[in-house]
Amino acid sequence: MLLGSGELGKEFVIACQRLGQYIIAVDSYEGAPAMQVAHEFEVVNMLDGDALDRIVEKHQPDIIVPEIEAIRTERFYDYEAKGIQVVPSAKAANFTMNRKAIRDLAAKEVGVRTANYRYATSLEELQNGVEAVGIPCVVKPLMSSSGKGQSVIKSNEDIEKAWKYALEGSRGDLLEVIVEGFVDFDYEITLLTLTQQNGETLFCPPIGHRQERGDYQESWQPMSMNVEHLEEAKQMAADVTKALGGSGIWGVEFFITKEGAYFSELSPRPHDTGMVTLANTQNFSEFELHARAVLGIPVNEIKLERNGASAVVLASKENDSLPVFSGIEKAAIVPNTDFKLFGKPTTRPYRRMAVALAFGNENVEILVDKAKSVAALIDVD
């Protein structure tokens, strides 16, 4: 049972189908990408614990695979206790639903390097937090996605605005924020990490990415980086994933500075920047790796096969009828490129509708430009 049926879930379902699995895809709306390739689907609000209990009772899944954060994850502990495998583990899904649990685990329990941080439940606490971590700093709601409610404080005048903005962008009923020191990083990476029940923890070659409005715009693999910083990041990823437990692929995000790697956050599931692996940059895509780890099929080695880049195709307006793509014929004839259209039933500004891919032996800067040019040829209406 897949909880969350977006484009990442869709690729995961396809990977599972190729391993003969039976899938029930769940989301809050009908026609979601992963539902289109699953055997059955359910439409429920996954923040409603009773609704979750109902569909788990109805379908009796062997495995529950969360694809998003906005789920009543507390219920996962019960499912795990009943013998259902929760991916990667109930603890991992529950701790990463909220920035506080995962940050405290990483910084305090495991002891990896992170930006200095404080929490705040009021404007006054935020003012104290800003004083403690220093300006500039970044304010984020504890529960939010895609950079919603996130802003940078550059002077004391920004504090009140940041507080209001964070409250507007908070998801769920939790009105609390984290304020953390601004890390003046040289670049940021996603280190896809594979934990296995019957194999060692493996790492994909690092993925570089560029963010805008809290969402990734382009990603590339491999990110060429200082070997010591990479080793440091691998150790941190191994330690944090071990503390959370279970098998699967994890998107572990780091800021890389001159001093080394800062742990930022982690998703216990395929990561959007990892869509670059759909360009066959590796012997297995992140979705195939996740499927194997979830099913207990050992992976011996993750190999870079060729360089790759991905660039997102976004919608520009609100439209409730089926989107129409144009420019595909032109995009299709660019050598050594590809694209995936997600099949989302409606559009809204900035909604991710497709991804363009470029691959080859050129350096990744060239491939990023190529992926962007393919993305620019594709229009969604």
* Residues binding ligand AMP (CB under 6 A): 115, 138, 140, 147, 150, 180, 182-183, 188, 211, 214, 253, 264-265
d(CA 278, CA 337): 11
Nearer to ligand AMP, 77 or 350 (CB): 350
Nearer to ligand AMP, 49 or 214 (CB): 214
Structure tokens given for 178: 């984290």
Smallest gap, in angstroms, from Cβ of residue 117 to ligand AMP? 8
Nearer to ligand AMP, 169 or 246 (CB): 169
Nearer to ligand AMP, 116 or 373 (CB): 116
Smallest gap, in angstroms, from Cβ of residue 140 to ligand AMP? 6
Catalytically annotated residue among 145, 146, 257, 316: 145
Catalytically annotated residue among 53, 131, 215, 265: 265
Smallest gap, in angstroms, from Cβ of residue 174 to ligand AMP? 16
Question: Quick one: which of 82, 66, 24, 57 has its CA closest to 244?
Answer: 66
**Is 352 a residue of the active site?**
yes
**Is 272 a residue of the active site?**
yes
**If DSSP codes are grouped into helix, strand and coil, which group holds residue 337?**
strand
Smallest gap, in angstroms, from Cβ of residue 310 to ligand AMP? 16
Which residue sits closest to ligand AMP, CB atoms considered? 183
CA 94, 97, 98, 99 torsion-angle sign: positive
**Is 326 a residue of the active site?**
no
Strand partners, 347: 319
**Is 145 a residue of the active site?**
yes
**Is 253 a residue of the active site?**
yes
Catalytically annotated residue among 176, 253, 288, 338: 253
Contact status, residue 334 vs residue 373, Cβ threshold 8 Å: yes
Catalytically annotated residue among 273, 277, 285, 337: 273
Nearer to ligand AMP, 2 or 237 (CB): 237
Nearer to ligand AMP, 182 or 203 (CB): 182
Provide the strand spans (E) within the chain. Answer: 2-3, 24-27, 40-43, 63-66, 85-86, 117-120, 137-141, 151-153, 177-181, 187-195, 202-203, 207-212, 215-221, 248-257, 260-267, 307-314, 325-326, 337-341, 352-360, 379-380
Catalytically annotated residue among 72, 118, 269, 352: 352
Smallest gap, in angstroms, from Cβ of residue 82 to ligand AMP? 33
- Phi then psi dihedrals of residue 119, to 5 deg: -110, 155
Catalytically annotated residue among 176, 272, 286, 288: 272
Catalytically annotated residue among 49, 147, 214, 260: 147
Nearer to ligand AMP, 46 or 143 (CB): 143
d(CA 95, CA 83): 20
Strand partners, 271: none
Structure tokens given for 31: 């026609």
Smallest gap, in angstroms, from Cβ of residue 8 to ligand AMP? 16
d(CA 189, CA 208): 5
> Helix 286-295 to helix 7-17 angle, to the nearest 10 degrees?
60
**If DSSP codes are grouped into helix, strand and coil, which group holds residue 233?**
helix
Indicate the Cα dihedral angle 266, 74, 55, 195, nearest 10°: 40
Smallest gap, in angstroms, from Cβ of residue 364 to ligand AMP? 18
For the chain, helix, strand, coil in percent to 5 are 35, 30, 40
State the catalytic residues.
145, 147, 253, 265, 272-273, 352
